[in-house]
Structure 1
Amino acid sequence: MALLELEKLKRDIGILFKNVKCLMAKSDETSPLVATEWSSRHINATGHGYTAGTYVFYQGHVYKALYNNESVLPTNTTYWLDLGEGHLLAEEQADWSSTGGRNFILNKPTKTSHFTNDGEDGSSPYVTQDELNNALPIQDLDSVLGEGDQALDKGAYIKEIGFWDNFASPFAYAKMYANKSRIYMKSKLGNDMFHFSETGWAFIKSPFTFNFNFQTLTSNRTATFQNKSGVVAYLSDIQAVSLKLFTQTANSPYIESTTTETSLIGKGIGTLEVPADIFQEGDAFRAILKGIISSQKGETLHIRVKTASGVLLMDTGVMTLPSCTDKFWNLDLDFTIRNTGVATEAVIASGGIFSFVKDSSTSYEGVCFNFINDTTFDTTVSNSLEITAEWGSTNSSNKIFSRLFTLSRV
């Protein structure tokens, strides 16, 4: 019986001790118990850890911190004392400023203006410039141009205009912008697609750019694409366009006393070059050369027709000549484009006649030749015509040059 009384007394003393402890903790409180809500962000790294004596509200109870801690859960009785049921303290909402603010605002930035943040409060600013830019409200065009619309003496200026089809995506728009000389249109990937100015237009499809230059435009003229390369010609010019590509206007260099392969073409007007991707299937060309030749009997001559890059189109082979002194010679050449493309796809057929007069008669002698190049000819690159002559010896009697040369499109 005495033992039971002793246990009862011990229990009553414990209850009394807890009540006294609770009353001591509540001595500075008024009923009912209220506190701000417990947060997991009260840590030393932010400079706002919980200190002893701090009150928090958690899951319907109010707790008092017994020791400093870094957001330890209030249910941990080592750090917190459960004061019983309580209420959440309603907090007043307030704006922060550059010179003040409540301590519970974490990572409060140093606000230097409405649109910048210098980050003086830490290495990582709470609000970055990019975030501010992206957070700016999207203005409608009327609000931007309103002042310019209403006042004749004022203008409205826009840096760039975005054309959106999906506001949720940062890559779902194209934009138009300008500098001092051009107006540009960019794709959603930031690539230039089109620009125009006082001097021309340009359509851009990387790596190619199609330019329209206005410097020489005159009125009442219509332009049209002639082929896949984007070359433009005026319809008013097509009927009157000359088929003549090149006309030699001076004698070619004399090829004499040398075994070096040398050009038979002199200076002239026009061009011997066909740009890349200009040839079309069925194109035909004719070249005519005339000049003077001298040689001793038994001397050899080799004439080649090729591109400036060395692609052979046709040749006479090595010709053994009779004796001739300052005699006329002719070289008639024809070319046909059978197919276009890169080497092994493009095909050019060529043929010609080289004729001359020898000393012992007034009749012509010479050779005929033709050739098909379907291996090395390439229409996707620029091609320039070259015609050369090569003597077999340096005999001083050997001489050849051209007086006339024309290249025409048939």
Structure 2
Amino acid sequence: MHEITVIGGGFAGLTAAITAAESGARVSLYEAHHTLGGRARTGEGPYRTNEGPHALYCRGPHWTWLKQRNLLGPLASLPPLEGARFRFRRGGVLRRTPPLAMLRLTRRKAEQAPVDTDFLTWATGQVGEEGARAAAHFMGVALFHHDPGSLSAAFVQERLRRATALPPEARYPRGGWGEVIDRMAGHAWNLGVRIETTSRVDALPERRGPVIVATSLDAARHLLGDGTLRWDSGRTTLIDLALRTRKGDPFAVSDLDAPGWLERFTAQDPSLAPSGQQLVQGQLPITPGQSKADGIAHAEALLDLGFPGWRERTVWRREALAQGRTGAVDLPGTTWRDRPAIDRGEGVYLAGDQVAAPGLLSEVSFNSGLEAVSLALRTAKYAAVAGRAAEASAAAEASAAARAAEAGSPLDLKRT
């Protein structure tokens, strides 16, 4: 039975801990925060907020894994009849439909898009500039990036296809993502995982087994003292609002003039806010030179268009800036394989949404957690086999030496 240490109790860390424990390892998990979940943590209190808009994509690899372990729990789909309340800002005006050229682009297979060309250039050649820009800005919802058009065409097109798939892939855990995390934590506990919260790890522990670092890339860089642990991410203003209910509010507002997204989460899950109120969450990507206030101004402009009288109806509000915590984005000429490797050598492995694993958003965390455990167990197995072989060799040498001593003859141990 191998010993594995997991640092970080978010989605990647819990995935790794459960997988390792199911494989028979003794697992210890350390989380700096007082609750588990990382970016999948759901806010406490009457407003069950996630850290920005969250959805679970039902065609992703983690869906089957969670379902097999009965960890999905109750789910909500896109609300019925709400399709008519999906709004797009185009040319400063709220509209019911995106440009037809953008819809045509969603039919292009991801394999058709090149890795080494930026998305805007490639998409413009496919459907024209208007449709290309609209599609690029629309993808702010899945990329949390201020300029998706500048990213690899293959990277963006794959996500565009999945974000616009029919039937829609998006599912919403009822009660917020924290409900999934709680079920994962309970499953890990039942498997014997030792979980310690409020346990910040500032240095690699003295260990007899592998260590999986399932933190943000910034935290991993400081913990491991490895300045190469860097990758491009998004910088995003987040806003949460509780509004008094008004009939006719849209389900979602997508800004096609600049990346930005507002979503009314109580449309599919009324339990996220008290009766008579609705929870709206938004993410507004900002450039490196912009401030949180710039993102808030953008959010308020969208709210003015989509949620009439929202200021007078607001009963609760929260704002935040997410920097370097919104997943990896791939520039032209790069893919997920170019991101920081999972295997860092000497029994240390990375997991999280910015490392070398495929997938969309949380799927990267999931895939990297599985791969980290696979590599760790394989390495530990080989180390154990090598250790037993060394012990057997030493025992054989000692036995030969003893026999030689009893016979009174000299023995060349080095040759033996």
TM-score under structure 1 normalisation? 0.17
Which structure's relative contact order is higher, taking Cα pairs within 8 Å and 6+ residues apart?
A: 2
Give the number of the structure whose residues are more often strand, by fraction: 1
Give the number of the structure whose residues are more often helix, by fraction: 2
TM-score under structure 2 normalisation? 0.17
